[in-house]
Amino acid sequence: MSLVPVITIDGPSASGKGTVAQRVAAALGFHYLDSGALYRLTALAAERRDLRWRDEVDVARLAGELDVEFDGAAILLDGENVTEAIRGESVGIGASIVAALPAVRTALLARQHAFARAPGLVADGRDMGSVVFPDARLKVFLTASAQARAERRCKQLRERGEPADLAAIAADLESRDARDRARAVAPLQQWPDALLLDTTGMGIDEAVDQVCRWWESLLNA
Ligand code: C5P
């Protein structure tokens, strides 16, 4: 087991796991890994180099060579701030396409492991507890109803001044989740050793408190 304590928070798109994971990391003074950002960066970089998202060999090579920097909340690709650019819906769809390619996942593995540094790490994604950090001390599967997730994503987009159609967003989330669940490698699913946190009708504070309580009770066990 790794000496660095790791908390994994996996779950479907727009479940709020990113916000919860960041807040838990801040509360505990731990580092934070947004693994979805790596898949989004790969999709964006591929698009910019005119690669097709399904070209496994080329996209995996690119994923292994990405020039990425996480500078606080800012994410840089080839020195350019792409924090906003990677959050677009089309990059999200591209991310779920490149994420289904086994060689791409392998190419991003070492980069993810490098985030596990003292005093600890909170990692969010789809396979953090199952593949990337199987020895994590606390594993959470964070979800919410499809309706609640679509409404949250809609609100996020509108706050950024982007157009947001609830029905189209719900359909997008559904197809992305279906692809994440059905893929052969590292599919999205709640593993038996993960604690379920359903945040439908639950505020962020409550979700963060629950994860912190689980963590404390582990430390006191
Ligand atoms: O979490 P986020 O929505 O930013 O992730 C974008 C996409 O990256 C997901 O839809 C999923 O296909 C992929 N992903 C993954 N494994 C992870 C994190 C994200 O396959 N650990």
Atom of ligand 1 nearest to the CA of 127: 21
**How distant, in Å, are the alpha carbons of 81, 90, 211 from that of 59?**
21, 17, 35
Q: What is the pLDDT of residue 2?
A: 65
Q: Is the peptide bond before 163 cis (omega within 30 degrees of 0)?
A: no
Cα of 221 from ligand 1 centre, angstroms:
33
Distance CA 62, CA 144 (A): 33
Is-contact 126 18, C-beta < 8 A? no
- In angstroms and rounded to an integer, the radius of gyration of the C-alpha atoms of the chain is 17
Residue nearest to atom 14 of ligand 1 (CA): 36
Residue 143 pairs with which residues in a beta bridge? 198
**How distant, in Å, are the alpha carbons of 32, 38, 95, 144 from that of 164?**
28, 24, 20, 19
Does residue 126's CB lie within 6 angstroms of at least one atom of ligand 1? yes
Does residue 112's CB lie within 6 angstroms of at least one atom of ligand 1? no
Atom of ligand 1 nearest to the CA of 128: 21
Cα of 149 from ligand 1 centre, angstroms:
15
Residue 3 phi, psi dihedral angles, 5° rounding: -75, -25
Would strands 68-71 and 74-77 be described as parallel, antiparallel, or unpaired? antiparallel
Residue nearest to atom 1 of ligand 1 (CA): 36
Sign of CA pseudo-dihedral 202, 191, 180, 74: positive
**Nearest by Cα to 25 from 114, 115, 122:** 122
Q: How many beta carbons lie within 10 A of that of residue 193, not counting itself?
A: 12
Q: For residue range 14-63, what is the model confidence (pLDDT) as tens digits?
A: 899 999 999 999 999 999 999 999 999 999 999 999 999 999 999 999 99
b/e for 199-211, b at 16 or more Cβ within 10 A?
beeeeeeebbebb
Does residue 180's CB lie within 6 angstroms of at least one atom of ligand 1? yes
Cα of 118 from ligand 1 centre, angstroms:
25
| Residue 79 zone, left/alpha/beta (φ > 0; ψ -120 to 50; rest) | left
Cα of 8 from ligand 1 centre, angstroms:
14
DSSP secondary-structure letter at 127?
S
Q: What is the pLDDT of residue 46?
A: 98
Whole-prediction pTM: 0.93
Cα of 4 from ligand 1 centre, angstroms:
24
Scan for tokens 């909170």, then name that residue: 122
Q: For residue range 60-111, what is the model confidence (pLDDT) as tens digits?
A: 999 999 999 998 889 999 999 999 999 888 899 899 999 999 999 999 999 9
Cα of 36 from ligand 1 centre, angstroms:
4
Q: Which domains can be identified in the chain, with CATH numbers?
A: 6-220 (3.40.50.300)
Distance CA 11, CA 7 (A): 13
Q: What is the pLDDT of residue 79?
A: 95
pLDDT at 1 over 80: no
Is-contact 33 123, C-beta < 8 A? yes
E strand residue ranges, the chain: 6-10, 31-34, 68-71, 74-77, 80-81, 121-125, 138-143, 195-198
